[in-house]
A and B are shown apart, each in its own frame.
Chain A
């Protein structure tokens, strides 16, 4: 199929001229950026800068107005693609791109194991036995092997978020998107999530994390993109961007956040 490249030839994520408005409010404004493959990229920026909207455009939770996104070998171009064609492409993207939410959004009526095995069974037609076996492996991997038959509401935030990551992994995504994955967690729980991200990084999964926690970016990012008013302000290696920003406005933004959020 012309829209998809073989999984092995995945060349990272290309975003070209992306525009998205809500009403008269232009949230993403002709944004172009390339996200390197197999790395942890952190999207930073003040609230309202468009980073979450950008992330949601990447797996079709928002339909952007114009531009092109190429992700996991699927390219979506707007407004060229619409209706059925758009739906088909979005559905392909979603099968290869996982999403982790700020509030976890686990399915409360299913056990953690059922949370993990539901999508593979329904979407891929994986037999129940196999989906559950894989689910157990993934729970083991995120350190929750003993919680397979527990309902999510009986877990606390850190473990919930680890289940949510494992649930996304059950679909074997090439890309994982994280929307503020640690901001609903107690500070001492943040590390266990970062730990999981590092482990996945070692396996070569492309990960994009939206956050406003600079500390997280310091700790985990291999690539940092700073957004402001729907555009790229600055991007590069974390050491360069965070310690020695080229842009005055990046400096202002970082200073504000460092003073507010960095303890000591």
Chain B
């Protein structure tokens, strides 16, 4: 959780500092009209039900949720098609400012801080904060009953702020919305306070839990739009007004079982809701359905193509990044040991600077920061570049150690034979250094394979991200976790054994090796 909170802080920091001075471009409305597509940024991976989630976890195009319905209605009103662009929730606003999509809409609460970075549409939904407790906790019904209790919520949310402002409550903040309810059912928490849609979808269907009392507080969800895009903002607001007027908005919320008093008040539509909620019923049915061993096996088999697809992305990203890291690492190590003084300093500074700063920040700079200077790099290239440039610093140190392990007399012997120092380096020193460096390089590659999951912050969906998406949509952390771990292990295995063989082959000239 703290990682998510930290990431969130970072994302907002970058949004504020780096993109505040973003160059003025044409209104995104023009771009949308030209392409005929409304690009919508949301997190279908961790956003979860009922906002945006996958109806069939094995089908990444099967997005459903009340925001999908709303997005489609909005697009229709604007005369274009809707296209979802996946990004992690914390990076939604930076991605919007970078121009990856036209709007960000994913349960983003309208707050003062956020309103400094982006414009918000009129609220499309007003959520309350709903208390959920264990079914047998009759004594807990209001915030006042929670003194001395442990209460879970989502980090950085309005609910969290309410809890922190209530004296005597021990607040536990989470990164995912289902986890607090699981912990509550397991008695690790005494209560959970979160936005009503989440409580309805994660607390209510669980027979061990109950919704306690009426909702408290209010938070408004708005469509986030770039500050410059005033015309798009106007069009979105007009479309929302038409959807409210025609009753379509109400029908969407009723379908999903989300129609509530705060939204009714906000939309000025006081009629009580008696409509059925087919989407909610379907969701609950799927959730509580019987799971036999065979359906489970079949389910995993159906997830496998998705996970393999993610694994492939992880693999080629890592291999490409490692090749870059090795090439640059050799250049850095050689510069540092044999280059002229200024080059030595540059190599030294590069290694220390890159090693001394977090990979996450480097990726943010590369992907969300550089567009500020007019340099736009597509996600995959940014991922390869970010990981490669970062690992190059570590590789440089490996090779430096390798090069230094080769006796200086080898260089003397080579130049005495008339070789130039460049030839000596290439044919005498490097081949011996490589052998020494292989184990640490292998180590780094396997670390890189796993570290590559960090690129999910720049909209790339790889193995870890796919795995999170699947487990968030199926609540099966154990099975999918094991499957994912096995895939990583299997991916690293051939490289480890290849390295071992290479090492043995290269050591054939050492007497001790035979």
Q: How far is the CB of A113 from chain B (nearest CB, A)?
A: 13
Q: Does A70 contact B (CB under 8 A)?
A: no
Beta-carbon contact of A101 and B409 below 8 Å: yes
Given contacts A103-B409, A105-B409, whether A119 and B417 have CB atoms under 8 Å apart is yes
A118 at the A/B interface (Cβ < 8 Å)?
yes
How many A residues face the partner with a CB closer than 8 A? 26
Chain A residues contacting B419 (CB-CB under 8 Å) are 118-119, 122-123
Is the CB–CB distance between B423 and A122 below 8 Å? yes
The yes or no answer to B416 lying at the interface (CB within 8 A) is yes
The answer to whether B409 and A122 touch across the interface, beta carbons within 8 angstroms, is: no
In the complex, chain B residues whose CB is within 8 Å of the CB of A123: 417-419, 423
B417, A151: Cβ atoms under 8 Å? no
State whether B420 touches A109 (Cβ < 8 A).
no
Q: B408-426: which residues lie under 8 A (CB-CB) from chain A?
A: 409-410, 412-420, 423
In the complex, the answer to whether B509 meets A153 with C-beta atoms within 8 Å is yes
Q: Looking at the complex, which of A10-18, A27-35, A91-99 is the stretch in contact with chain B?
A: A91-99
With A and B bound together, what is the CA distance between A152 and B508 in angstroms? 11
Q: Which of A95-123 contact B (CB under 8 A)?
A: 95, 98-99, 101, 103, 105-110, 118-119, 122-123
Binds A, one of B29-37, B92-100, B427-435: B427-435
| Interchain Cβ contacts within 8 Å, total number | 67
Contacts of A171 in B (CB 8 A): 417-418
Does A59 reach chain B (CB closer than 8 Å)? Answer: yes
Whether A94 lies near B418 (C-beta < 8 A) is: yes
The answer to whether B413 and A101 have CB atoms under 8 Å apart is yes
In the bound complex, CA of A177 to CA of B417 (Å): 12
Task: Report B-chain residues with C-beta under 8 Å of the C-beta of A110.
Answer: 509
Shortest distance from the beta carbon of B188 to any chain A beta carbon, whole Å: 59
Cβ contact within 8 Å between A108 and B409: no
- Is the pair A105, B418 in contact by a Cβ cutoff of 8 Å? no
Which residues of chain A have C-beta atoms less than 8 A from B511's C-beta? 153-154
Q: In the assembly, what is the distance between CA of A105 and CA of B415, in Å? A: 12
B510 within 8 A of A: yes
Complex: chain A residue closest to B424, CB-CB:
A122
Chain B residue contacts of A108, Cβ below 8 A: 432, 509-510
Using A101-B409, A151-B509 as known contacts, say yes or no to A107 and B428 having CB atoms under 8 A apart.
yes
A interface footprint on B494-511 (CB within 8 Å = 1, 0 otherwise): 000000000000101111
Report chain B residues within 8 Å CB of A153: 509-511
Q: Smallest CB-CB separation from A122: which chain B residue?
A: B423
User: Is A168's CB within 8 Å of the partner chain B?
Assistant: yes
Measured CA separation A118–B410 after assembly (Å): 14
Inter-chain contacts of B432 with A (CB < 8 A)? 108-109
- Whether A118 and B409, one on each chain, are in contact in the complex, defined by CB atoms closer than 8 angstroms, is no
Could you tell me the distance between the alpha carbons of A255 and B506 in the complex, rounded to whole angstroms? Answer: 50
Contact A61 B418 (CB under 8 A): no
User: Could you tell me which residues of chain A, from 39 to 83, have a CB within 8 Å of some CB in chain B?
Assistant: 59, 61
- B428 to chain A: which residues have CB within 8 Å? 107, 118
Q: How far is the CA of A67 from the CA of B393 in the complex (A)?
A: 45
A-chain residues with CB within 8 Å of residue B414 when the two chains form the complex: 107, 119
**How many angstroms from the CA of A238 to the CA of B414 in the assembled complex?**
33
Residue of B nearest to A123 (CB): B418
List of A residues within 8 angstroms of B417 by Cβ: 94, 98, 118-119, 123, 167-168, 171
Tell me the smallest distance from the CB of A222 to a CB of chain B, in Å: 24
Q: Which residues of A contact B431 (CB under 8 A)?
A: 109
For residue B412, which residues in chain A have a CB less than 8 angstroms away from its CB?
61, 99, 101, 105
Please report the C-alpha to C-alpha distance between residue A110 and residue B414 in the assembled complex, in whole angstroms.
13
Cross-chain contact A91 with B416 (CB below 8 angstroms): no
B residues near A152, Cβ cutoff 8 Å: 509
Within 8 A of A (CB), among B19-49: none
Which of B416, B420, B427 contacts A59 (CB under 8 A)?
Answer: B416
- A154 partner residues in chain B, CB cutoff 8 A: 511
User: What are 5 inter-chain pairs, A to B, with CB distance below 8 A?
Assistant: A91-B420, A94-B417, A99-B416, A154-B511, A167-B417
**Apart from A61-B412, A98-B417, A123-B423, 10 more pairs, CB < 8 Å:** A94-B417, A98-B416, A99-B412, A105-B410, A107-B428, A118-B419, A122-B423, A153-B509, A154-B511, A171-B417
The interface of chain A, by Cβ under 8 A from chain B, is 59, 61, 91, 94-95, 98-99, 101, 103, 105-110, 118-119, 122-123, 151-154, 167-168, 171
